[in-house]
Amino acid sequence: MGSLAIFGGAPVRSRFLPYAKQSIDEDDCKAVTDTLMSDFLTTGPAVQRFEKALSEAVGAKYAVAFSNGTAALHAACHAAGLGHGDEGITSPITFAASANCMLYVGAKPVFADIDEETFNIDPCEIEKNMTSRTKVIIPVDYTGQAVDMDTINALAKANRITVIEDAAHSLGTKYKGRPVGSLADMTEFSFHAVKTVTAGEGGAITTDDERLYKALSLFRTHGIVQSQKEGPWFYEQMELGYNYRITDIQCALGISQLAKLKEFAVRRNQIKKIYNDAFSNMDGLILQKNAPFSQTISHLYMLKLDLPQLKADRKTIFEALRAENIGVHVHYIPVYFHPYYQKLGYKRGLCPKAEALYEALITVPFFPAMSDTDAHDVVTGFEKVIGHYLK
Ligand SMILES: *Cc1c(COP(=O)(O)O)cnc(C)c1O
């Protein structure tokens, strides 16, 4: 197959293939420009239309849209009543926001280890880490695969714990036939540029609980409510909230994108099949197992290097793939490895399975706008590089 590009050989691709990229078409552009010329740039009719479209898509009673997914998680922690002295449990293999949101309200994130095969948080590890202070569980549908929600909900119910599902990766995924967004007390979605559906930036919480819905809405807008008490100008700030509003411009894009969720999902599944077929037959690689209860729409495609079979570590293989113009990435560094968390006193060794996974993880380019040829280039790149480094 020729020598590796990192040693001066010809790369598999002449152009760099990124790990993710948004799919924006003419309809999306028109939706945004129409909004720019309308009466409302923010907090107008598009916000409600977006919330309605999202709540219908995921089978939830309410949706509250926020400026981003992190703000939505912060609001959910607040609405759950999480605060000083409380603890919340999440996965270490996630974006830092899943844990940061607990720190925002003064609570302590507790990391529960993952399942080695599905890479998702292990409900047995959640149970082991529960204390009398545990007030929320924030399970993450890592890569888009649903966590075992029946088991997690049962643990939570028995202990008066609120479940906030971090579904930033799993819009469109179903759990035992039920859509993610209708399973937990609250479910958080993100509409960041690389996510399955984008609004540029954006986030939302879906819930069936009217009390939570009201608390989330209040938190989004400074804690302010409209009131006619002293006249038409009057409003009152009832608590300390934030400006976590989303704009009509973003929501117009979000609505237009959400209408294409099924189309995006079909394309993601097609690319996933090309990868699964190729990678499952390649020595040196281990695929993420899909649990039977999750009908997954993947946001990320991960490979785990079978390091004992290889002569090189992840960094060497990663750099060799990049040299072939295959835009691999790594999702994620265990959250408590970050210097800020180390300063808070979290020690390496806390979640051995997550740490071992991190050493072997590679994110493969995966997005609906890539062609079959792009996907086959990725496969060729892995054949070349992994073939070179196999023992
Ligand atoms: C993207 C993401 C979020 C939210 O991120 P925002 O960029 O604030 O929308 C939360 N959790 C996970 C796992 C994510 O990937």
* 264 CA from centroid of ligand 1 (Å): 19
Pair of tokens at residue 372: 């079959």
What is the C-alpha separation between 303 and 111, in angstroms, rounded?
23
Expressed in angstroms, the distance from the first to the final Cα of the chain is 17
Mutation choice for ligand 1 from 67, 90, 95, CB with most ligand atoms inside 8 A:
95
- CA 118 to chain centroid, in Å, comes to 15
* 190 CA from centroid of ligand 1 (Å): 6
At residue 112's C-alpha, the angle toward residues 275 and 126, to 5°, is 105
What is the C-alpha separation between 260 and 148, in angstroms, rounded?
27
* 13 CA from centroid of ligand 1 (Å): 30
**How confident is the prediction along the chain (391 residues), in pLDDT tens digits per residue?**
689 999 999 999 999 999 999 999 999 999 999 999 999 999 999 999 999 999 999 999 999 999 999 999 999 999 999 999 999 999 999 999 999 999 999 999 999 999 999 999 999 999 999 999 999 999 999 999 999 999 999 999 999 999 999 999 999 999 999 999 999 999 999 999 999 999 999 999 999 999 999 999 999 999 999 988 899 999 999 999 999 999 999 999 999 999 999 999 999 999 999 999 999 999 999 999 999 999 999 999 999 999 999 999 999 999 999 999 999 999 999 999 999 999 999 999 999 999 999 999 999 999 999 999 999 999 999 999 999 999 9
CB 91 near ligand 1, within 6 Å: no
CB 166 near ligand 1, within 6 Å: yes
Domains of the chain: 5-11+261-389 (3.90.1150.10), 26-258 (3.40.640.10)
Pair of tokens at residue 199: 């609004």
Instruction: Read off the DSSP letter of residue 44.
Output: S
pLDDT of 105-118, one tens digit each? 999 999 999 999 99
CB 203 within 8 A of CB 188: yes
CB 304 near ligand 1, within 6 Å: no
Q: What is the pLDDT of residue 2?
A: 83
What 3-state DSSP class applies to 65?
strand
CB 140 near ligand 1, within 6 Å: yes
CB 183 within 8 A of CB 149: yes
* 321 CA from centroid of ligand 1 (Å): 26
CB 227 within 8 A of CB 110: no
* 227 CA from centroid of ligand 1 (Å): 34
* 73 CA from centroid of ligand 1 (Å): 9
Instruction: Check: pTM over 0.95? Answer yes or no.
Output: yes
What is the C-alpha separation between 98 and 92, in angstroms, rounded?
9
As a three-state string, the secondary structure of 106-157 is CCEEEECCECCCCCCECHHHHHHHCCCCEEEEECECHHHCCCCHHHHHHHHH
Kindly give the number of the ligand 1 atom that is closest to the alpha carbon of 190. Answer: 9
CB 244 near ligand 1, within 6 Å: no
* 188 CA from centroid of ligand 1 (Å): 9
The number of residues making up the chain comes to 391
Q: Of all helices (H) and strands (E), which one includes residue 368?
A: none
